[in-house]
Amino acid sequence: MNITTPAAIPTVAAHGAAIPALGYGTSPQTGSVATEEIVTALRAGYRHIDTARKYGSEGAVGEAIRASGVPRSEIFLVTKVSHENLRAADFARSVDQSLKALRVDYFDLLMVHWPNPAIPLSDTMPALAKARRNGVARHIGVANFTTRLLDEAAALCPEPLAALQAEYHPYLDQTKLLGAVRRRGMAFVAYCPLGRGRLFSDPVLADIAKARGRSVAQVALRWLVQQNVVPIPRSSRPERIAANLNVFDFALTGDEMQRISALRRPDGRIANPVERIAGGWD
């Protein structure tokens, strides 16, 4: 069994959490997530695994953890409660279902997956905090919240929020949200860090990648890592799973960072269920 030690992966600190600076996402997008690809990621050295009740991948993640040979204590495991389950009783039931599906005793990070304008955060945030107080979640956070919702959530939550997860890649400007997260001492976790493949044909990224002897994916991921943002890419191909983790042995120059940041565009957002975001995005 070939298991890579995670010693080379730095961590991002946030309210007591030490979050591995690059993780493996298990959102299926289409089709399903295979246990084997998650095992491959763990054996390649990933120690941050991201799932959610809504993804339908919790069972596969749990099986992969047990099959990988990597001790549970070395894995930073994240799951999320879906937007339809944000009332206290539903929230508790969803948490219990996730524990059973994953066959674990705790989550390293438990998050609200999406806000729900029909359910007040005054119902949701105490339920999230309770999971931390009960030891089911070592750390808690929110996903897909705007700056306004983040302010409201933090004010209503009696436990500190360690992380916010949101879409972030060079085509999407998240300057305002990133600033709000940093002011609160939270970590920013980026999903869709490769724009679901839309970045691969970008000439600016391709030029930098060629000059660096790297892949476009590695350059885009390094751009995030260098902002102290935690990307969670996913691939089903073993060679890409390994390559995506190999971004900690080089640094982009200030000019390269600026060139990539300049790629932001008004239509850059991919995940956009507008009915869940009252008042619109930042």
Positions marked catalytic? 55
Cα-Cα-Cα-Cα dihedral sign, residues 195, 201, 203, 208: positive
Amino acid, single-letter form, for residue 52: A
Cα-Cα-Cα-Cα dihedral sign, residues 214, 219, 221, 224: positive
Look at residues 195, 194, 211 and name the one whose alpha carbon lies nearest to residue 250: 211
Rounded Cα distance between 120 and 224, Å, is: 32
Rounded Cα distance between 220 and 231, Å, is: 10
Write out the E strands in the chain. 11-14, 17-20, 24-25, 48-50, 76-81, 109-112, 140-143, 161-167, 187-191, 229-231
Task: Say if strands 161-167 and 24-25 run parallel, antiparallel, or are unpaired.
Answer: unpaired
For 194, which DSSP code? T
Q: Which two tokens stand for residue 48?
A: 């941050």
Task: Say if strands 11-14 and 17-20 run parallel, antiparallel, or are unpaired.
Answer: antiparallel
- Cβ-contact 49, 76 below 8 angstroms: yes
CA triple 196-48-236, angle to 5 deg: 40
CA triple 21-22-27, angle to 5 deg: 135
Instruction: Identify the bridge partners of residue 140 per DSSP, sorted by sequence position.
Output: 110, 161
Rounded Cα distance between 35 and 197, Å, is: 22
